[in-house]
Amino acid sequence: MGAEQQVRAGFVELYGAEPEGVWAAPGRVNLIGEHTDYNDGFVMPFALPHTATAAVSRRTDGRLRLHSADVEDGVAELRLDDLAPESDRAWTAYPAGVVWALREAGHPVTGADIHLTSTVPSGAGLSSSAALEVVVALALGDLFELGLQRWQLARLCQRAENVYVGAPTGIMDQTASACCEAGHALFLDTRDLSQKQIPFDLAAEGMRLLVVDTQVKHAHSDGEYGKRRAGCEKGAALLGVDALRDIPYADLDAALERLGDEEEVRRLVRHVVTEDQRVERVVSLLKSGETRAIGPVLVEGHASLRDDFRISCPELDLVVDTALAGGALGARMTGGGFGGSAIVLTEAADVDTITKAVEEAFAAAGFTAPRVFEAVPSAGARRLG
Ligand code: ADP
Ligand code: MG
């Protein structure tokens, strides 16, 4: 049974009727542009083949029923009038937050029955949370005929995660899940959400992109994210700009000089400004067909995250070092840091050797075995039936 049929059957079993429709929204991996999205900068994610899939029907009685095939709990039943920011610490906060954000924005959502399942690894830095939000937003937008554009769905989902769930995240994850196209990476300007689809078909050029999920999440990651974010805001304030995005790469040295002995802020600023420039370099290399040349840019990005932004960890560094020693074209950590996943760009012929080398290095270091899979740039959110 395919994903659509499975989630449809699950819905019928739970709620005793066919759903009005089934939708899917993918997780994402970020090719380059890390910790730039809350600095109004550039990012370049692409969608994974892994998706959250939801069967949904409308209700008119102000009730919301939620069920995930991947969680042990039964059906959660909520009243729309009771939805309140940070009132829910369970997984249900993500879909409920979307309903809350839609209603807050004045959209006439009168209730829903939702059953979902997801193949996006959770907590691996691949945005299972955004997949969950976007699939619900797209379904409700369609069913209640809200006429929302994809970027508007992304904004509402970000609001759900920031305000309702209470997790400070930028706009990249939700936009990637809502807007990506198969065979492309999404060049996104997070200031105005303008976007360009950049052809990114590695298989056609004999290459592969591996995702290595380290399966670790170091405990302090949330607090560290907040500290980096606050440090970037401090840097922008000291430099008299709205966001670090406003420091052109050509002015970086002068900006660093102006920051004087603010050593930590200097490192954060240097990462963000050079990272924005790396995104622009990757875009221009891909446009001119020099795909293999993006490898060294990814490696530079990793060094910047490790040494300047200081959010890598031994597991992520080991993936990158081992992959490069094994002949990879490029590799870097991706996502928030302190665990989660790394990406490896490699010739197709080297996939097995590199995978084996990473697995062996993890075993030798006494780390949990990593999960390695190939990431093919896939479609964004869509209705399945
Ligand atoms: P990431 O987005 O990197 O995967 P997050 O911590 O942002 O990590 O989101 C993970 C959370 O999303 C989980 O703790 C859970 O609450 C929710 N979630 C993800 N997938 C599912 C699922 N299939 N069913 C229910 N909840 C899910
Ligand atoms: Mg998330």
- Residue 114: in which H helix or E strand, if any? strand 112-118
Q: In degrees rounded to 5, what are phi and psi of residue 216?
A: -115, 150
Looking at all shown ligands, the one closest to residue 125's CA atom is 1
Active site residue 61: no
Over its C-alpha atoms, the chain yields an Rg (Å, rounded) of 21
pLDDT above 90 as % of the chain:
95
Q: Tell me how far apart the alpha carbons of residues 303 and 300 are, in angstroms, rounded to a whole number.
A: 5
| CATH ID of 3-197+379-383, from 3.40.366.10, 3.90.550.10, 3.30.230.10, 3.30.750.200 | 3.30.230.10
The first and second tokens of residue 145, run together, are 């005929």
Mean pLDDT across the chain: 97
181 labelled as ligand-binding? no
Q: What is the pLDDT of residue 219?
A: 76
Q: What is the pLDDT of residue 94?
A: 98
Give whole-number Cα distances, 213 to 80, 120, 231, in Å. Answer: 37, 11, 28
| In the chain, domain spans | 3-197+379-383
CB-based contacts of 289: which residues, under 8 Å, 6+ apart?
none
Q: Tell me the residue ranges of DSSP E strands in 200-286.
A: 207-217
Q: Tell me how far apart the alpha carbons of residues 216 and 201 are, in angstroms, rounded to a whole number.
A: 29
* Per-residue model confidence as pLDDT tens digits over 306-315: 999 999 999 9
Q: Whose CA is nearest to atom 23 of ligand 1?
A: 118
Please choose from 51, 75, 117, 122 the residue to mutate so as to test ligand 1's pocket, defined by most ligand atoms within 8 A of CB: 122
pLDDT at 220 over 80: no
